[in-house]
Amino acid sequence: MAGGQYQVAPPGRGPSLCSLTDGSDVGPEEGDPDDGPHSNPLKRLTSCMRTDEKVMKELIIGRRVGFYKVRGEIGCGSFSRVKLAFHALTKDKVALKILDKTRMDVQAQRQLAREIANTERLQHPNVVRLYEVVETPCRLYLVLEYAGGGDLHTRICDRGKMAADCCKVAFAQILFAIKYLHNNMIIHRDLKAENVLFTARGCVKVADFGFSTRVPGVDRALDTFCGSPPYAAPELFRDESYLGPPVDVWALGVLLFFMATGTMPFRADTLGKLRRCVLDGAYAVPPWVPGPCQRLIKGMLRPLPEDRHAVDQMLGCDWLLPVEFPWPLLGPVPPGWTDREEEEEVEEEVRAGLEELGFTREHVGTQQGPPQNSRSPVTGAYRILLHRTQRRRGCETVPVVRGMVQDPRREGLKAYRGLRHSSKLCVVS
C-alpha cells in the first residue's frame, strides 16, 4: 500500500498515521463539517484513510501516497517519474518523485541516499526543497517543492534565446544557488538546463541532486564521471581526478552560452566527437553577444580548472552589475532564513499553523527547532508550512535589473585619470 508506514507504526520508526490521532472514531467523510466539536482536519483525514473505501482504494493503487493526493505526471528520468500532487491538509502543490526500488542496484541506492541527505541540508530560495520521504516495500517517494513555471531547457527550445535582462536575472540566481552549495561543501555535478526550474513567479530553482556529493573541503579530489556529456568539463573526459567547484563552473559556462544564444557551445553527433570538441575547446561565441557576457562565458570555459573564474568573481562581474538582489549576497540570505529574531517569529507562526491542522505538541515535540525525521508526516507538514511562511515574508523575491550600474572601481579610475590630466594641464600652463 502506498504510504504504508502511515498505517502501521514499526518499532523505532517515529510517528505513524495511526499515532497521529487520539484513537477517537470520527466521521468517514474527509472534511465533513459534522464530525463533532472536538474534530480537526488531521483527525478527519486519518479517520477517512482508515475507513473510507474510496480513499483506501486510492492508497492501494497509488492515487494517494500518505497525506498526498497524486495527480498527473509532470516529468520522468532514467530511474524515476515525477507527478504533481498536493497535501491533503495544507492544500499545497508538491512534486512527487517516484523511484522503483526493485530496479536500483547498490550503487543507485547509495546515490539516492546521498541525494536525500544533501537536499535535506539545503535551505535556499534558489534550491528546490525536500519536504518529506515516503517509503513502501517497492517504492520510494521524495516529496519536493513544486516549481510550476517549467524548466529552462523547455523554455529556450520553445522560445529561443533569453532576452538580455531575463538572462542576467536567471543566471544571477543560478550563481547564487551554486555559491550557497559550494559554501556548504556540496558539489552539484549535474548542472544543465533541464535541472534549472522556474516558479510561477519567475524565481529560479536548481534541482536534481542525484549526482551531488558532499566533500570535506573544496580542494578534495573526486574521480567519478557524473552529469550530462554536453556539460562535462575537459578533465572529466580525460578520465582523471578532478576538483568539484571548477566542474560546476564549466557547466555554468555551457549553461550561460545556451541561455544567451539558444544553442550549445559543443555540438557533435557522437560522444567521441563531442569529447574531442570539448578537449580542443572548439567553440565560438557569436559576435552579437554583448562583450561583458562573452568575457564571462570565456572565463568559465577555460580548459584548465585553475584558470576558470571563481563564483564570487562572477557575481561581481561587469555583466551582472545591474542585477539587484533584494538582500545582500554576502550577508544574511533572505528574510526568514537566517535572522534569529525572525526565525523565532516564523517558528511560532508555523507551529500555530500545525495546531490549526490538528497536530498537537505531542506530535511536533517540545524541543526547540524543526522536526528532523524526513520520513514523518509531521515533518512534511511542518516543512511545507515553513516554506509557505518564508515565501510570504519575501524570501523568494526575484532580483531586478536597475539600469546601468556604474562599477565603483571604474569610477575611481576615471577620477584618477581626470586628476592626472588636470595636473598635466597645470604643468603645461
Backbone φ, ψ for residue 97 (5° rounding) = -90, 120
Q: What angle do CA 317, 321, 323 make, to 5 degrees?
A: 125
DSSP-derived pairing of the beta strands 93-100 and 130-135: unpaired
Give the 3-state secondary structure percentages of the chain, helix then strand then coil, rounded to 5.
45, 15, 40
Cα-based angle 11, 13, 18 (whole degrees, multiple of 5): 85
Angle in degrees, 0-180, between the axes of helices 340-357 and 41-51, rounded to the nearest 10: 50
Residues 6+ apart with CB under 8 A from 317: 292, 295, 296, 299, 309
Residues of each annotated binding site: 97
Closest CA to 6 of 122, 134, 97: 134
User: What's at 374, amino acid-wise?
Assistant: S
Main-chain dihedrals φ then ψ at residue 82, nearest 5 degrees: -120, 125
Residue 318, all three cell numbers: 561587469
Chain centre distance of CA 146: 10
Q: Which residue has the cell 525572525?
A: 342
Give whole-number Cα distances, 291 to 12, 163, 328, 334, in Å: 60, 15, 26, 31
User: φ, ψ for residue 197 (rounded to 5)?
Assistant: -110, 165
190 catalytically annotated: yes
Annotated binding site for ATP: 97
Closest CA to 323 of 196, 165, 175, 197: 165
**Which is nearest to 81 in space by CA: 65, 70, 67, 96?**
96
**Looking up cell 556604474, which residue turns up?**
406
**Neighbouring residues of 358: CB distance < 8 A, sequence distance ≥ 6:** 40, 41, 42, 43, 89
Apex 144 CA angle, 141 and 145, nearest 5 = 160
Residues 6+ apart with CB under 8 A from 164: 290
Query: Which among 151, 190, 208, 248 is annotated as catalytic?
Result: 190
Residues marked as catalytic: 190
